[in-house]
Amino acid sequence: MEPRLLLRLLPLVLVLPYAFGDSAPAISTSAEYNTECKTCPHSLCPNTLYYSTSELLNLTCWTHGTRIISTTLWLRSTSSCYLTEYDLADTTTDYTSTLPYCGPDSEDEALTLEAATLRYKTECRICPGITCDTLAYLKEDTEVELTCWTPDGQVIIDDPYWMKTTNNCYVAQKNLYDKPDITYLDPCGPIPFLEIEKHFNENGTSEVDKRSPVRPAYLINVTVGEEYALCHSCPEEKCEVERRYVFNQEVWLQCLVDSNGTWWSETTDFCYVRNADFWQSPEGDYYRNPLCEYFEEPGSGDEDGDD
């Protein structure tokens, strides 16, 4: 080979390893909030790890993914996972000019999916715990698509497993009709405590990634404080009695109804008991149980018509 030709090829050989950021110098920064570092740059992807607020990290390249607030820019860290630019403390650096592009394959969204159906009214949360913000109220018999699972969630009755859905929030496995076959699903990976105000997807985010901030709620258990408690077909004394709970029996509640100043609760047996029949007060701030009307679709209630 001629020396001149070799010299012309040599710079190309040296540049190629840097083309998609694999060997580029890393940029140091820190996490502005608790943030998930994902297997791909999309909010539905499983987590490889997470960074805590103010934790230092190093970035190697940039790519595009799910829009978070105002940016679709995601960065890959030296841990080979992706986090959104929005969660970085330094949002003034132009990462697209200071770091190389991660490559077109980095924008792929690889998900595992499994269909499931909710048995009860269910709160879909930003992270798998009852202190996490609720993103959606889902009615019983709602069909959902699961993307991953975690065994480290808040225990609901006797089950710590939670499932992430394509609504980008988590539901307790206990609220499903059947336990999913998790051999077909990815594990969700480590999950930090998240808050809607710091992780709210909007402005152009795909429908499955949108989140609506609403108040928290969850299945709660109470005990009967009277000789017996009647469970009616609707939240009124005149309604048919469908079930009777006995003194000190544990009852699981889904939501609340204020019927002409009297508080009732819908149980997991889908009938209604007066709250006065329990030892506890489900309508109090301690439980933060939701109103049953939150689970109704807008416009689905009865409307008065002309006679």
pLDDT in tens, 89-98: 987 889 999 9
Largest Cα–Cα separation, the chain = 100
As a CATH number, domain 220-295 is: 2.30.30
* 174 has pLDDT over 90: yes
How confident is the model at residue 19, as a pLDDT?
Answer: 47
pLDDT band at 274, cuts 50/70/90? very high
- Could you give the C-alpha distances from 147 to 81, 117, 209, in angstroms and in order? 18, 14, 13
Rounded to the nearest angstrom, the gap between the alpha carbon of residue 226 and the centroid of all alpha carbons in its chain is 38
What is the average pLDDT score of the chain?
Answer: 82
By mean pLDDT, which of 121-130, 172-181, 215-224, 236-245 is the weakest? Answer: 215-224
pLDDT band at 201, cuts 50/70/90? low
148: CB partners within 8 A, 6+ apart = 46, 112, 163, 164, 185, 186, 187, 188, 189
How confident is the model at residue 292, as a pLDDT?
Answer: 87
Q: Which CATH number fits domain 17-107: 1.20.1050, 2.60.290, 2.30.30, 1.10.490?
A: 2.30.30
Residue among 276, 272, 270, 263 nearest 224 (CA): 276
* 5 vs 55 pLDDT, higher one: 55
pLDDT band at 279, cuts 50/70/90? confident
How confident is the model at residue 287, as a pLDDT?
Answer: 65
Query: What's the pLDDT tens digit per position in 225-259?
Result: 888 899 999 999 999 999 999 988 889 888 899 98
* 10 has pLDDT over 90: no
How confident is the model at residue 161, as a pLDDT?
Answer: 97
**Cα–Cα dist 204/220, whole Å:** 36
Query: What's the pLDDT tens digit per position in 141-162?
Result: 999 999 999 999 999 889 999 9
* 67 has pLDDT over 90: no
* 2 has pLDDT over 90: no
* 170 has pLDDT over 80: yes
How confident is the model at residue 304, as a pLDDT?
Answer: 40
Q: What percent of the chain has pLDDT over 90?
A: 53
pLDDT band at 71, cuts 50/70/90? confident
* 215 has pLDDT over 50: no
How confident is the model at residue 55, as a pLDDT?
Answer: 96
Residues facing 278 on adjacent strands: 224
* 214 has pLDDT over 50: no
- The third-level CATH classification (topology) of the domain covering 114-209 is SH3 type barrels. (2.30.30)
53: CB partners within 8 A, 6+ apart = 31, 32, 33, 34
For the chain, the domains span: 17-107, 114-209, 220-295
138: CB partners within 8 A, 6+ apart = 118, 121, 122, 123, 124, 144, 171, 295
How confident is the model at residue 184, as a pLDDT?
Answer: 92
How confident is the model at residue 137, as a pLDDT?
Answer: 86
- Could you give the C-alpha distances from 225 to 155, 222, 277, 289, in angstroms and in order? 25, 9, 6, 19
* 188 has pLDDT over 50: yes
Q: Decide whether 17-107 matches 114-209 in CATH topology.
A: yes
How confident is the model at residue 284, as a pLDDT?
Answer: 72
